[in-house]
Structure 1
Amino acid sequence: MTPEDIAPLFTRADGRYLCARWGRPIVPVVFGVEDATLSSVKGAIEAVVALAGHQMAETDPELGANLMIFFFRDWAELGGVPNLDRLIPDLPPLLARLQAQGANQYRAFRFDADGAIRAAFVFLRMDAALSVLPAEELALAQAAQVILLWSEQAFANRSPLARAGTGAQATVILRPEIAGLIRAAYDPAMPAVAQDPSHALRLAARLGSG
């Protein structure tokens, strides 16, 4: 990928470049799924965290869990989740907006003082489109989208996933260039937060050397 390919993946709707990675170990908790799906979700998170060279932990000393993933059927269900309005500001109007848009997913991030990711919240409304996806595929896509702060439109037109192999042997993997970007962004020599578009040049250089 060239810097021109990479920059839009981290350019916000207002034109600002912003790439951030997690600044602490990730502690996931998943709500609204059966044990088999829970295993798939946590396995996908573990795989992407390992790819990044980052860490997971049993608990976050400040938050307990810092990656919360909710599966549900209707946005209105979230209004009854205890204390969620303390974690997500302006929750009622947000839910009303997502309901009106017919959205089936939403991600919210919280940041440390230096701008690194401190917590993430993933909301998945299991409509017809999401319900037909295998749990492993849905989980891997979500794990990829919370390991970094991507642009809101980064995956609007193309999934972060690809298929490897053919027929019954086909498996779903991260697109190689997306996997490479995740590894590059977590390189210890790279900053945890970048707001200058020249960061895309540094990512591209690491992809080229990898």
Structure 2
Amino acid sequence: MTPDKVQALFTRSDGSYLCARWGRPIVPVIFGVEDATLSVFKGAIEAVVTLAGHRMAETDPELGANLMVFFCRDWAELAQVPHLDRLVPDLFGLCARLEDADANQYRIFRFEPSGAIRAAFVFLRMDAHLAAVPAEALALSQAVQVILLWSDRAFTDVSPLAQAGETLILRPEIAGMIRAAYDPVLPPVAQDASHALRLAARLGPGPH
């Protein structure tokens, strides 16, 4: 991973650089799935949090849960979730925009005053495409995409996951990136592209 490739993972569509990690222990809650899928998702989140060297907790003293994952069949279902409109600004407008775009997933982040991640909301509409994705792959992919604030284009063309024989794993460079971004020496949020150089230096030399 060259510094340029690292920088691209955190450079947004508008050209700005932004990398942020969680500033508090992660407390996930998942709505709309069976127990088997629930355990897969919680296991994936725990694995990625452990990889980052971060922490999970049973409850967030301020929010209760701070990582909320919602499964639905239709975006209009979200408007019927009690009190969700208090947590998500313009929920009805968002549902309409997602429906118009025929989107099947969407993530919203909230931030601490420092800029670190405070909370995240993940919305998954189980269309034919997502329904065909194995639960393990969907869970691991979503866990990766909420452990850091990546560019909105980071995984558009290439998945963060790879197949190693019959085992699904994180691509080594993405796993390394997560570990590097959670290095306590680095700031929890960075908006200067020079931060990418510091990340790249922690990844070590790649294979030749």
Q: TM (normalized to structure 1)?
A: 0.96
Residue 199 of structure 1 pairs with residue 195 of structure 2: yes
2:184 counterpart letter in structure 1: P
Residue number among 186, 204, 208 corresponding to 1:208 in the alignment: 204
Q: Secondary structure at the match of 1:49?
A: helix
2:119 counterpart letter in structure 1: A
Separation in structure 1 between the aligned mates of residue 9 and residue 205 of structure 2, nearest angstrom: 20
Separation in structure 1 between the aligned mates of residue 158 and residue 77 of structure 2, nearest angstrom: 29
In the alignment, what sits opposite 2:156?
A: 156
Q: Which runs of 5+ in 1 are unaligned?
A: none
Q: Secondary structure at the match of 1:29?
A: strand
Cα deviation for residue 82 of structure 1 reads 1.0
Q: Secondary structure at the match of 2:204?
A: helix
Cα deviation for residue 90 of structure 1 reads 1.1
The residue correspondences of 1:128-139 to structure 2 (distance < 5 A) are: 128-139=128-139
Q: CA RMSD in A?
A: 1.0
Size of the alignment, in residue pairs? 206
Q: Spell out, residue by residue over 1:26-47, the C-alpha distance to the aligned partner (whole angstroms, 9 max, x if none).
A: 0000000000000000000000
In the alignment, what sits opposite 1:18?
A: 18
Residue number among 182, 189, 199 corresponding to 1:186 in the alignment: 182
The residue correspondences of 1:85-124 to structure 2 (distance < 5 A) are: 85-124=85-124
Separation in structure 2 between the aligned mates of residue 157 and residue 13 of structure 1, nearest angstrom: 14
Separation in structure 2 between the aligned mates of residue 89 and residue 129 of structure 1, nearest angstrom: 27
Cα deviation for residue 91 of structure 1 reads 1.1
* Farther off after superposition, 79-88 or 48-57: 79-88
Runs of at least 4 residues off by over 4 Å: none
Separation in structure 2 between the aligned mates of residue 3 and residue 87 of structure 1, nearest angstrom: 36
The residue correspondences of 1:20-99 to structure 2 (distance < 5 A) are: 20-99=20-99
2:134 counterpart letter in structure 1: P
1:29 counterpart letter in structure 2: V
Q: Which runs of 5+ in 2 are unaligned?
A: none
Separation in structure 2 between the aligned mates of residue 88 and residue 12 of structure 1, nearest angstrom: 22
Separation in structure 2 between the aligned mates of residue 26 and residue 116 of structure 1, nearest angstrom: 12
